[in-house]
Amino acid sequence: MDRLTDRIARRPGGLIGRLIYRHPAGHETSFAMTLDALHPGPGDRLLDLGCGGGVFIERVLARGASAAGLDHSPDMVAETRRRNAAALAAGRLELHQGDVARLPFADGAFTLVTSLNAFFFFPEPQAAIAEMARVLAPGGRLGIVTTPPDQAAMLKRWFGPVAARMRLDAPDSLAGWMADAGLIPGEVKPVRQVGYLITARKPAMPASIGAEITMPGFHGRITGRLGPATAPLLVVEARVDGAIPPHAAAADELVVVLDGRLRARTDGAEHLLGPGDHLIVPAGTIHEAAAETPARLLLVGPPE
Residues 86, 225 within the same domain = no
Q: Which of 4, 28, 25 is nearest to 16 (CA)?
A: 4
Burial environment of residue 69 by CB neighbours within 10 A (0 to 12, 13 to 18, 19 or more): buried
Sorted by sequence, the CB contacts under 8 Å of residue 87 that are 6+ apart come out as: 61, 67, 93
Same structural domain, 139 and 275: no
Q: How many CA atoms lie within 13 A of 209 on its CB side?
A: 10
| Residue 169, in any domain of the structure | yes
When the pLDDT of each residue in the chain is averaged and rounded to a whole number, the result is: 87
Instruction: Please tell me whether residues 86 and 66 are part of one structural domain.
Output: yes
Give me the pLDDT at residue 15, please: 52
Q: Residue 219 maps to which CATH number?
A: 2.60.120.10
Same domain flag for 167 and 255: no
State the CATH number of the domain containing residue 25. 3.40.50.150
Task: Establish if 207 belongs to a structural domain.
Answer: no
50 lies in the same domain as 150: yes
Q: Are residues 160 and 217 in the same domain?
A: no
pLDDT digits (tens, 9 = 90+) for 285-297: 888 899 999 999 9
Q: Could you report the per-residue pLDDT of 106-148, keeping only the tens digit for each?
A: 999 999 999 998 898 898 999 999 999 999 998 899 999 999 9
pLDDT at 22 over 70: no
Does residue 84 form part of some domain?
yes
Question: What is the domain extent for residue 297?
Answer: 212-301
| Backbone angles phi and psi of 126, in degrees to 5 | -65, -40
Going by pLDDT thresholds of 50, 70 and 90, the confidence category of residue 233 is confident
In a domain, 42, yes or no: yes
- What integer pLDDT is reported at residue 249 of this predicted model? 80
Quickly state the pLDDT bin for 26 (edges 50, 70, 90).
Answer: low
| Sign of the alpha-carbon torsion through 237, 243, 247, 253 | positive
pTM over 0.75: no
- Are residues 53 and 83 both part of a single domain? yes
Q: Is residue 268 in a domain? A: yes
N-term to C-term CA, the chain: 47
Percent of the chain, pLDDT > 90? 60
| CA separation, residue 146 to residues 18, 32, 244 (Å) | 21, 15, 44
At 74, the pLDDT band (50, 70, 90 cuts) reads confident
Residues 83 and 179 in one domain: yes
The confidence score (pLDDT) of residue 21 equals 54
**Residue 206 counted as domain residue:** no
Domain boundary among 149, 172, 201: 201
The residue-averaged pLDDT of 51-69 equals: 95
What pLDDT digit, counting tens, does each position of 162-216 carry? 666 678 999 999 999 999 998 989 999 999 878 999 999 998 766 678 888 887 7
Domain count within the chain: 2
pLDDT surpasses 70 at 236 = yes
Determine the Cα–Cα distance for residues 263 and 197; give it in Å rounded to an integer: 46
pLDDT at 88 over 90: yes
Strand locations in the chain (E): 45-49, 66-71, 93-97, 110-116, 136-146, 184-191, 195-201, 212-215, 218-226, 233-240, 243-248, 253-266, 269-273, 278-281, 286-301
For residues 183 and 268, state if they share a domain. no
Report the distance separating Cα 37 and Cα 197, nearest Å.
Answer: 9
User: Among residues 172, 201, 230, which one ends one of the domains?
Assistant: 201
Residue 16 lies in a domain: yes
In a domain? residue 236: yes
Within 10 A of 211 (CB to CB), how many other CB atoms are there? 15
The SS3 assignment for 180 reads: helix
Rounded Cα distance between 37 and 57, Å, is 15
* In a shared domain, residues 151 and 238: no
Q: Are residues 194 and 271 located together in one domain of the fold?
A: no
In contact, 170 and 149? CB cutoff 8 Å: yes
Query: What does the pLDDT read at residue 164?
Result: 62
Q: From CA 224, how far away is CA 226, in angstroms rounded?
A: 7
Residues 245 and 181 in one domain: no
**Final residue of a domain: which of 201, 226, 249?**
201
Measuring CA to CA, which residue among 186, 106, 105 is closest to residue 143? 186
Asked whether the predicted pLDDT for residue 227 surpasses 90, the reply is: no
Q: Residue 5: pLDDT band by 50, 70, 90 thresholds? A: very low
Residue 8 pLDDT:
53
CA pair distance 141, 87, nearest whole angstrom: 23
